[in-house]
Amino acid sequence: MDVTQFDATVNERVAQARKALDEARSAGDDYLSDVHLGELESLARVAAEHGIRVEGLDETLAAHGMATPSAGLSLVDSVIDLRRAGGTPVQ
């Protein structure tokens, strides 16, 4: 798989996870919502580690009180970035 295909695959999986999260939230399924948030967080970590920019992913995670994993940043830096974005870190 080349880099472009890898980038496209990550972006596609993020789109699928966002859709599934929206559906779970609409259905009131908190457990499934948490599963899809975890999937988005994992995909965000993969994207950060490979320098892939996924449009709106940071905002999606922040809207649910989750920090965006950032390559090269410590957890403290990630929490500071989240607070600047108006989110609240998960304990």
Does 91 fall in a domain?
Answer: no
Does 89 fall in a domain?
Answer: no
Q: What is the residue range of 8's domain?
A: 3-84
Q: pLDDT band for 86, please (50, 70, 90 cuts).
A: low
Take residue 61 and report the two structure tokens written for it.
């995670």
Does 43 fall in a domain?
Answer: yes
Domain tally, the chain:
1
Average pLDDT over residues 52-80: 72
Does 90 fall in a domain?
Answer: no
Q: What is the pLDDT of residues 16-50, one digit of tens each?
A: 999 999 999 999 999 999 999 999 999 999 998 88
Least confident span in 2-16, 31-45, 53-67, 74-88? 74-88
- Asked if residues 69 and 50 have their Cβ atoms less than 8 Å apart, the reply is no
Q: Count Cβ atoms within 10 A of the Cβ of residue 78 and give its class: 0-12 exposed, 13-18 middle, 19 or more buried.
A: middle
Report the alpha-carbon distance of residue 12 to residue 34 in Å, rounded: 19
Q: Is 87 left (phi over 0), alpha (psi -120 to 50) or beta?
A: beta
